[in-house]
Amino acid sequence: MIMWELMTGRRPFWDRNHDTELIIDICDGLRPPIVTNAPEGYIELMKECWHLDPSKRPQITDINNGIMILTNNERNIIYNSSKIIESTDIGPVPKSNPGAIYKSRSLSAMINSAMSLRSSRNQSINLEKFKKRFEDDLIEDSNDNGMILVNRK
């Protein structure tokens, strides 16, 4: 996320409340939109940092080495952190969102709550899929006496 913020001059998820819903969405793979006018190689390195499996993300030394290589390959790149990149990929410059909190704080309780909610949702979805499959497997037939017979396929 830091690489994205440095590249765009914006805070990620500025338009969303920083709550358990956002945590769940990020755990499910939500990432900020990628701008197309980034230096070659930068986006690939940033995507590596966003890998869903934290153990497959690069170490800080690898990131540093990658950025050094990018800088050496493109000496004409000037990093100006005060300039906001205008890009149709990420929309207009945002206004402040009162639900977005930009200060250091412990997220342990929110993460635990988000993971619990995510687990409950997955169980609910699985139950609905099972119920639908069960209902689809039932065939209703009527006999001559008007009785309904329920048979499994």
pLDDT, tens only, 18-75: 888 988 899 888 999 888 777 778 889 999 999 989 899 999 999 999 988 888 776 6
Split at pLDDT 50, 70, 90, the class of 142 is very low
Q: Using CA of residue 35, residue 2, residue 57, residue 109, what is the dihedral sign?
A: negative
Question: In the structure, what pLDDT confidence band is assigned to residue 84 with cuts at 50, 70 and 90?
Answer: low
Q: What is the pLDDT of residues 6-18, one digit of tens each?
A: 888 888 888 888 8
What pLDDT score does 141 carry?
Answer: 46
In the chain, % of residues over pLDDT 90: 15
Residue 144 has pLDDT above 70, yes or no: no
Burial of residue 4 (number of CB atoms within 10 Å: 0-12, 13-18, 19+): buried
Q: Are 20 and 117 in contact (CB under 8 A)?
A: yes
Calculate what percentage of the chain has a pLDDT beyond 70. 65
Higher local confidence (pLDDT), 96 or 24: 24
User: Structure pTM?
Assistant: 0.51
